[in-house]
Structure 1
């Protein structure tokens, strides 16, 4: 049984086409800008069976078209890799396109087994600089970088996602560093710039946590354009979500 936080039907920002997005409970990061802070604790959510998710997918299949399918997000979906495995395996057997939205910090045998049934990985790169990654997430980025190496090794298609936080992850030097690190990976199909927003701030207040980015403003068009212009020199395709 998977612990599911919530579902989003007709999602258009979480992989190709129109998708059913399954937000799983539990995350091993605590990002300063997390939009889903209520998914961090593993003990929450609703226990959901393989059959329930597959039936929901079948009901929504007419909307998926040729490109759409299911995306497992969170939280960090690979925290529940063991429980996720029978779900993705059944979905692939039923002919669905499967996508995982992950921070890439977990790589064990269960995760490797899940990857066999995944079509595309949406990989959230929080920061290329180790110290800044620690500041934003509370964790090292070493495991995430190793995960990208593994995905290249098994030739799994990847869409990188990068949240552009003013004053934290929009430094041009770091953007160039990010591009140079990943430009030789032939399995990375594109990079998505995710503009920073405060949509999750109220959830922090509800949980009794301090929102540490209070006062950080949304990106200006100039900041987004600067990041776009730098990153397009390194990646085949760059989009601003």
Structure 2
């Protein structure tokens, strides 16, 4: 509350991978002093996410849902990796999930780049995406449009006003 009382903006930039629903009270406390969450979602398909990151997807989605529950604004980033995360169906599904988050303020699909590969070589760490080319801005822009289509589809279906028989 120290920062909030002084109008200092606090941002949590995370992949959400550490979220543990058994520790929800601690996460709620953290989010109570957070002005914005920037959340990276690498992949929406659970099996592909596990292959890509070595970690399950559900903690990330659970964390995203918690941010919505406590009404902390969220921006979502998704890196478009050619041949791996560059998939129209999964971009739409990502958007459909994001459409359920009433606290979603922005989504940004970013083009994958290869600038970090040298660091992995220097450290002697195998690079999981070796040989994958960088993505273009056009590919990322197309992904963003598809994600937004998914968001709109969810909201049209689930957030549309309920009509009663008395309405004309």
C-alpha distance in 2, partners of 1:145/1:198? 27
Match of 1:201 in 2: 117
C-alpha distance in 1, partners of 2:16/2:94? 16
TM-score normalised by structure 2 residue count: 0.80
Larger relative contact order (Cα-Cα within 8 Å, sequence gap ≥ 6)? 2
1:229 Cα offset (Å): 2.3
Q: Of 79, 98, 105, which residue of structure 1 is paired with 2:10? A: 98
CA RMSD, 1 decimal: 1.7
C-alpha distance in 2, partners of 1:93/1:195? 38
TM-score normalised by structure 1 residue count: 0.57
Whether 1:184 aligns to 2:96 is: no
**Structure 1 stretches of at least 4 aligned residues deviating more than 4 Å after TM superposition:** none
1:211 Cα offset (Å): 1.2
Moved more, 227-236 or 155-164: 227-236
Q: Secondary structure at the match of 1:147?
A: helix
C-alpha distance in 1, partners of 2:41/2:115? 20
CA contact (8 A) 1:191 1:235 kept: no
Q: Of 79, 83, 102, which residue of structure 2 is paired with 1:163? A: 79
Q: Which has the higher helix share?
A: 2
Aligned counterparts, 1:50-199, within 5 A:
89-105=1-17, 106-107=19-20, 108=23, 109-199=25-115
For this pair of structures, how many residues does the alignment match? 148
Greater radius of gyration (CA): 2
C-alpha distance in 1, partners of 2:57/2:133? 25
1:218 Cα offset (Å): 1.2
Q: Secondary structure at the match of 1:233?
A: helix
Structure 1, gaps ≥5 residues long = 1-88, 237-241
CA contact (8 A) 1:195 1:218 kept: yes
Q: Which has the higher strand share?
A: 1
